[in-house]
Chain A
Amino acid sequence: MKHLSTTVLKDCTRISASIDRVVAPTPAGRLRAFVLHPTHDAGRAPLVVLHGISRNAKELARLFAPEAARTGRRIVVPHFTPNRWPHFQRPCRAARPDVALAGLMDFLATQDAAFARPAQIFGHSGGAQLAHRFAMLYPNRVARLSLVAAGWYCLPDDRMAYPYGLDDKNDRQLALWVRRHRAGLARFLSIPTEILVGDSDTDRDESLRQTSDLDVVQGTTRVARAATYAEALRTAASQAGVSADVTLTALPGVQHDVAQAIRVAGLARHVAGPDLFPFSQAV
């Protein structure tokens, strides 16, 4: 497990980014988002930042703004509001956050073609749930995955029934979703994927789904489940004949708190990637 530096970021504000608020009319309903536009364009894939159950999109937009400026990347922070999106962690009969997210990107692409490119998807907690499921359904739209502290995962194998895995238990409704997740499995497994989790994110609090099957197969904590998922991805990729690019990274001293991970462990900087102008000085 790789450990990130805990160096606190210094803003590089001379190269700036503007923040727009948009409301996208998508086939699954309206979806709000913050869109960070850097003044300099790096020509890289857009970065989508998915919040967790605290729905702190505004805070994430503020925390990622320096990264948009520093890297020259467009960054989109959807806001699944509780009234309109009581369920946003995974596509199901009750809600289709996957369709909304795809619709949001299509909407943005009508104004800026760069948003039509496959995106890097970052998600924390419930956002990581949506991120990896979105990538399974639409691997054509995802360039890279950064999954942080998901409570549990959809394993890319049949050890568990859907939505924990890809066994359909001969149930027609499950079979429909399993088929959709399996259709692009090989392509999904080829997506570069980084799994991150705070090394202190070990509480079995009420926000962590706890079932005996889940505990046995995926582990009892987010740290254990992240490791299980990373290994499951590598194994599935090997069985599919796909060259996997999966890393597992511990965030030292970080609990289940994305703002803490960004401030203390430099998570946003790490995810957003290298500077647009690597030899320029931050001011």
Chain B
Amino acid sequence: MTRFDLSQLTDAKWTFSTRRVDRAVVAAGDTAFDQARPGDLILAHVAELGQHKRVQLTSGRPSFIYPGDAVVLACGARYAPDQFEGIAEIDANGADLLAGGGCIGRMVARNSRVRAATRLIPAARLLDDAGQPVNLERFALQNTTRAQDIPVIAVLGTAMNSGKTLATAQLALGLRRAGYRVAALKGTGTGAFGDYNEYADTGAHLVADFTDAGMVTTFHEPLARVKQGMDRLLHHAAENRCDIAVMEIADGLFQRETAQIIADPAFQARISGLLFACGDAVAAAGGVAELARHGLRPDALTGIVSCSPMAVAEAEAATGVTVLRKEDLADPAEANTFALRALPDLRHSA
């Protein structure tokens, strides 16, 4: 354990992924970066700006960063085909800002269309008064078996930026307008407030993501932990009296954790509906075929493909699955079709 000036933490920019952390727990720091585990909190200083010129604060707003700025982030991996692939390793001589939401690690590959990662100099791994690393898991929602299961509509897609987040948000909006208490959840991915805020803007009654379940990212996490995280989010939604949840599963069907999830019989049995976002008709056909290989069939297609009437016609002809635009998902009459399929019978009393 190394003594360091705790006042640095007061001035530091605490990133979105650390929003559940009780800062009073932090009592010390060390430089055993080679022992850092995913989720451990790291104090670092900005060394050189690259792809990310801003970080996302716990307050929900972005903040420009400047060389020398102190930032608190969580050690983690990153899966982002349009940016970086990174792993949860920290070199004392320098580390990478893998995600603006607050993920520090080592970049191992990058998309040729983006700049190199912003470089950070790790200053300390944060410890509690017992000398234990302060990890996001400590502040995660606790699992509970008290809450009843609520129906969940899963949102999957072909890749990043296929329209999953918009679909999740708009379906949550439509369900709220149809009269339900709705949870908008992100089951997998890397912590960032963009999706979280987009969900919250719909007026969803509860918004949460995997960072609430103690993970800065689900990339490289064991399937059992990822599933436990999703269960925690759903239990949390049920405890908050939500009637139904819409849950986005990040990235494409071939991404490692997503592929494991859709192949998992427990997940297949757990979901009450499925929405698939894709970019064009060929992607629609491929996605529907891949889902069929796992015994799944989407209730509807959506995403970028829905912007083009010609692509819609082709996708529907190729798959036999209805394509819904974002306006359709936000329409309470349309959204209610998902809920009515998912929810148990209601009693009538006047």
**A interface with B by C-beta (< 8 Å):** 27, 44-45, 91, 98-99, 102-103, 105-106, 116, 118, 120, 137-144, 176, 179-180, 183-184, 187, 190-192, 273
Contact = CB atoms under 8 A, between A and B. Distances in A.
B313 to A, nearest CB: 9
A60 B179 CA distance: 26
Contact of B341 (A45, A176, A183): A183
Interface stretch (B96-104, B193-201, B255-263, B330-338): B330-338
Nearest to B243: A140
Interface residues of B, number: 21
B177 interface: yes
A192 B350 contact: yes
Contacts of A179: 322, 337
Given A137-B333, A180-B333, A184-B336, A144 B348 contact: yes
Contact of A192 (B322, B337, B345, B348): B348
Central interface residue in A102, A103, A116, by most chain B CB within 10 Å: A102
Nearest to A192: B348
B339 interface: yes
Those 9 A-B pairs whose CB atoms lie nearest each other, nearest first:
A144-B350, A183-B337, A184-B340, A143-B350, A120-B350, A45-B350, A137-B333, A180-B333, A183-B340
Contacts, number: 76
Interface of B: 177-180, 322, 328, 331-334, 336-337, 339-341, 343, 345-346, 348-350
A191 B350 CA distance: 10
A118 B179 CA distance: 9
Given A27-B177, A99-B177, A190-B345, A140 B350 contact: no
A154 to B, nearest CB: 13
20 contacts: A98-B332, A98-B333, A102-B332, A105-B179, A118-B349, A137-B333, A138-B332, A138-B333, A139-B340, A140-B179, A143-B349, A143-B350, A144-B348, A176-B328, A184-B336, A187-B346, A190-B348, A192-B348, A192-B350, A273-B350
A190 B348 CA distance: 8
B336 A44 contact: no
Nearest to B335: A180
A138 B348 contact: no
Nearest to B350: A144
A180 B337 contact: yes
A262 to B, nearest CB: 19
Nearest to B331: A99
A104 to B, nearest CB: 12
A273 B333 CA distance: 30
A139 B345 CA distance: 10
Contact of B178 (A118, A138, A273): A138
Contacts of A139: 340, 346
